[in-house]
Structure 1
Amino acid sequence: MTSAPLLSSTGLRVTFPGRRGAAAARAVDGVDLDIGAGEIVALVGESGCGKTSLARALLGLVAPTAGRVTFGGVPLSYGSRELKAYRRRVQLVLQDPSGSLNPRHTVYDAVAEGLRIHAYAGDERAAVAEALSRAGLRPPERFFLRYPHELSGGQRQRVVIAGALVLEPELIVADEPVASLDASVRGEILALLLRLRDELGLSALVVTHDLGLAWNIADRVAVMYLGRIVETGPVESVLTAPQHPYTRALLSVLPESPEPPVVLTGEPPDPSRIPPGCRFHARCQVLSSGAAEEAGVAERCRTGDLPVLPGSGPGAVACHWAAAREGDGPRA
């Protein structure tokens, strides 16, 4: 990106205290991430990697332990008044529309809720109708008095999106926005998000475990493992020529992958037990196969820390083996 980012995190950390004397969980452990105006960034990783904690910190739902978040170049303040104003400009779209919508509220009330919280002074009915129409529910008046149980899964997700759009935000954070939908509906919702970007200049952070989804919607991808971004860059370069072994493993299990599936061994990510060296090394197929040894970096993989990757740019990877293949040391 050449212009200043719309949303940015610098050195962001989120640590949760351990229970009954257990070690603290470093859910987000030093993350730089930028999202530009009109840009869609996919944050990808398996369950437990910290991507939802990162999204919550970017939204101001949890205060970071260290680091900072800026929006439009202004550091995020955590006072109630400042957060209320911020959340009008940055909206959340949750994974499960059934859980996001109050079953006792009509579609109209669900979409109007944000307007009422923010004491909207304009024409509420017109604003709700416009949001529903933008979300693809037309004619909008036909849905005003319907309840969530009367809608399909795709229609419920469109209502949730309309509830975010009604405040005319500049950025949305979509947490697994199509995970609960049928395959036939997923494409429609992804196409809707792309259309909103093109028509409204809307930016988005899409949190997902699905690299296939990232390929279909994102401009850039950030791959997260155990609290850190381990690879980032334009979607075409990351997904067609992945550098980090973790990214390669995630891609290998996609149905269209030409590579045999990589089965990761070892324990899944545990943010209360982050190992020394590369945090992926205990499960790394490159290290276990002997390829890291051949490259002369096996010991570095086990003991040598890697830098925090920059928030934006042409692409970066935190991997001793990938850096050795390029012949220039750890890249960041």
Structure 2
Amino acid sequence: MSDAVRSDTADRGGAVGAKAPAAPLLSARGLHVTFPGRRGAAPARAVDGVDLDIGTGEIVALVGESGCGKTTLARSLLGLVRPTAGTVSFDGSPLAYTSGALKSYRKRAQLVLQDPSGSLNPRHTVYDAVAEGLRIHGYAGDERAAVAGALARAGLRPPERFLLRYPHELSGGQRQRVVIAGALVLEPELIVADEPVASLDASVRGEILALLLRLRDELGLSALVVTHDLGLAWNIADRVAVMYLGRVVETGTVESVLTRPRHPYTRALLSVLPESTTPPVVLTGEPPDPSRIPSGCRFHARCQVLASGRAAAVAHRCREEPLAVLGGGEARAVACHWARDETPE
């Protein structure tokens, strides 16, 4: 990671090195989500024993390649996918799965989707798009004032300029701000943003990330940001959880994980960033398949450290001994036999 990138991160308001609160706002313990196999195939263990905490006013980045289970995990944390096993707690209370309890919960925890064009009804004005949540929850206050306030907080000022416009009349960044305003209008305590800037130009990405940081600072808003981009995590997150094949394999503050990565998978992800000073790591072996999880460490078949012979002393453990699930409250943890034995902090 370059010095310039580190400086940019340090200037954004002190998120780097921030400590998670002792009492998390959102907590998952032993979370499993298994989908039935198709046409006789084995069940797919999309989320396979995950512990994760998000503190009040904290931004956590959930990072991993496509197919690792991060979107399924995010949706299960919101109650959109019911876990096969495990628990999700919000503000100290276990999540209940009755329609009334979920409706109440989703007022406090909102989802921001990746593609704003797909999230917005092309026949609805900006006003109707933002007001939809208020109407679903039977808001009794001044609807127009609430919509205008949410648009202003999302950076669409003056809000009156946008109320009667349609999605096709907006830029990509403006559409994403409308989606964020639709979440903010309910005054949630947590947002889950699934690849929130993946479809945007580089200049607009920076604006949306700055907006999320400002909302964290001004409103005390917590966020889980789902992304495949560790560079994005560096610029926005307080903590990082790296996910591979249904499990979190490394977690810690953004500075500790991204400047001192310990898991070979995290190192491989970092090596392909433009700012990286190490040669790119090309992962060998087949891509992850949640219906065929290997024995031992689930990354061992693609592990560059094991393939190089540097992990010879623990190779048998890598191939045969499963690793314990990382605890959600651990400040710094890695699920890797080699990293635990050879590169202790």
Equivalent of 2:55 in 22, 36, 47: 36
Equivalent of 1:52 in 71, 76, 79: 71
Equivalent of 1:277 in 296, 302, 323: 296
Equivalent of 1:243 in 249, 258, 262: 262
Partner residue of 2:147?
A: 128
Question: Given that residues 233 and 312 in structure 1 are in contact (C-alpha distance below 8 angstroms), is that contact kept between their aligned partners in structure 2?
Answer: no
The runs of at least 4 consecutive aligned structure 1 residues that moved more than 3 Å come to none
Q: How far apart, in 2, do the equivalents of 1:327 and 1:54 lie?
A: 29
Instruction: Please tell me the residue identity of whatever aligns with 1:133.
Output: A
Instruction: Please tell me the residue identity of whatever aligns with 1:181.
Output: L
Partner residue of 1:303?
A: 320
Q: Structure 2 length normalisation: TM-score? A: 0.94
The DSSP-based 3-state class of the residue aligned with 2:266 is helix
- Structure 1 stretch 222-231 or stretch 311-320: which is displaced more? 311-320
Deviation of 1:20 after TM superposition, in Å, equals 1.6
Q: How far apart, in 1, do the equivalents of 2:229 and 2:265 lie?
A: 13
Alpha-carbon RMSD across the aligned residues, in angstroms, is: 0.9
Equivalent of 2:168 in 149, 152, 173: 149
Query: Structure 2: any 5+ residue segments left out of the alignment?
Result: 1-19
Q: 1:137 to 1:2 in 2, by over 3 A?
A: closer
Q: Structure 1 length normalisation: TM-score? A: 0.97
Question: Given that residues 88 and 167 in structure 1 are in contact (C-alpha distance below 8 angstroms), is that contact kept between their aligned partners in structure 2?
Answer: yes
Question: Given that residues 286 and 292 in structure 1 are in contact (C-alpha distance below 8 angstroms), is that contact kept between their aligned partners in structure 2?
Answer: yes
The answer to whether 1:104 aligns with 2:127 is: no
Partner residue of 1:25?
A: 44
Partner residue of 2:159?
A: 140
Instruction: Please tell me the residue identity of whatever aligns with 2:176.
Output: Q
Question: Given that residues 43 and 221 in structure 1 are in contact (C-alpha distance below 8 angstroms), is that contact kept between their aligned partners in structure 2?
Answer: yes
The DSSP-based 3-state class of the residue aligned with 1:205 is strand
Q: How far apart, in 2, do the equivalents of 1:176 and 1:183 lie?
A: 14
The answer to whether 1:313 aligns with 2:330 is: yes
Deviation of 1:101 after TM superposition, in Å, equals 0.2
Question: Given that residues 21 and 56 in structure 2 are in contact (C-alpha distance below 8 angstroms), is that contact kept between their aligned partners in structure 1?
Answer: no
* Residues 121-200 of structure 1 aligned to structure 2 (within 5 Å): 121-200=140-219
Query: Structure 1: any 5+ residue segments left out of the alignment?
Result: none
Deviation of 1:19 after TM superposition, in Å, equals 1.0
Deviation of 1:314 after TM superposition, in Å, equals 2.1
Question: Given that residues 249 and 264 in structure 1 are in contact (C-alpha distance below 8 angstroms), is that contact kept between their aligned partners in structure 2?
Answer: yes
| Identity score, percent | 84
Partner residue of 2:16?
A: none
Deviation of 1:186 after TM superposition, in Å, equals 0.3
Deviation of 1:312 after TM superposition, in Å, equals 2.5
Deviation by residue 1:19-48 (Cα, 9 ceiling, x = unmatched): 121100000000000000000000000000
Q: How far apart, in 1, do the equivalents of 2:72 and 2:23 lie?
A: 24
Question: Given that residues 89 and 95 in structure 2 are in contact (C-alpha distance below 8 angstroms), is that contact kept between their aligned partners in structure 1?
Answer: yes
